[in-house]
Amino acid sequence: MLTKRIIPCLDIKDGRTVKGINFVDIRDAGDPVELGARYAAEGADELTFLDITATVEARDTLVELVRHVAAEINIPFTVGGGIRTVQDVSRLLHAGADKISINSAAVRNPGLVDELAREFGSQCVVVAIDTNRHADGWYVYTHGGRTPTEIETMAWAREVADRGAGEILLTSMVADGTQAGFSLDLTAALSTELGIPIIASGGAGTMAHFAEAFTTGKADAALAASVFHYGTIPIPTLKAYLAEQGIPVRG
């Protein structure tokens, strides 16, 4: 079994790390560079930085922040928010990012996934899917969870995988920030059907939730924010717990 990854997520607004519940009720969680350096030192496998208002406000992702982060940490990190073009991606990768994450731009122009995979390689391309449960299934949302679409989540996941996405960052909006557990049914469905890694996101509250994401949910990685930002679950403690459960993690 491949080693499972633990990924702290830092949502960025106006240069600060923030966290909300169900994508709203945002509050400050600290300096992103300092937090990133701390998580790297504590044993995080990767980091994800998402500029949560970049798409809505039509701003570029903060390239300068990426440079500062790259200078301070020694683990891979992904950057997303407001990325629309090959040029945007090139700037971020040259600033030090290892991967980029696209969401709204991919929904608006699915061919962008093909274009980025050809230009930079699938290993650099993460497609983020923000999804919410409706009465008749799961559907994709864009613009930081503000805009519903009629796109069914599984169908979209299949399409972006076929177009060359290297990973899918799957965020359950109904679970996000609740600390009540990941949406395991959907995570397992994508993990089982698709041939690319699935990162589970939304709902982590206990160490058992992470174990469930890797076992029941069959995820390749688990991403969380609040439990790390506010010290609820220290990363070394979480990794020791997962190892005790027989789940392969990096030391």
Residue 84 has pLDDT above 60, yes or no: yes
* Interval 15-67: pLDDT, tens: 777 765 554 555 566 788 998 999 999 999 999 998 877 655 545 557 888 99
Q: What is the mean pLDDT of residues 158-177?
A: 92
* Interval 199-230: pLDDT, tens: 999 999 999 999 999 999 999 999 998 899 88
Domain ranges of the chain: 5-244
Residue 16 corresponds to which amino acid? Answer: R
Whether the CB-CB separation of 79 and 93 falls below 8 Å is answered with: no
What mean pLDDT value characterizes the chain?
90
Which of 11, 45, 51, 176 is the catalytic position?
Answer: 11
Please state the pTM of the whole predicted model: 0.92
Higher per-residue confidence, 12 vs 89: 89
The region that residue 103 occupies, defined by phi over 0 for left and psi between -120 and 50 for alpha, beta otherwise, is alpha
Exposure string for 170-206, b = 16+ CB within 10 A, e = fewer: bbbbbbbbebebbbbebbbbbbeebebbbbbbbbbbb
Q: What is the mean pLDDT of residues 119-129?
A: 98
Question: pLDDT value at position 29?
Answer: 61
11 is catalytic: yes
Distance CA 65, CA 54 (A): 13
Question: pLDDT value at position 21?
Answer: 52
Question: pLDDT value at position 55?
Answer: 58
Distance CA 1, CA 51 (A): 33
Which of 45, 51, 130, 220 is the catalytic position?
Answer: 130
What's 14's DSSP letter?
T
**Least confident span in 62-66, 112-116, 246-250:** 62-66
Handedness of CA 75, 90, 151, 191 (dihedral sign): negative
Q: What topology does CATH give the domain 5-244?
A: TIM Barrel (3.20.20)
Per-residue pLDDT band for 108 (boundaries 50, 70, 90) equals very high
CA angle (50 as vertex; 164, 46 as ends), nearest 5 = 70
Distance CA 189, CA 14 (A): 36
162 is catalytic: no
Calculate what percentage of the chain has a pLDDT beyond 90: 74
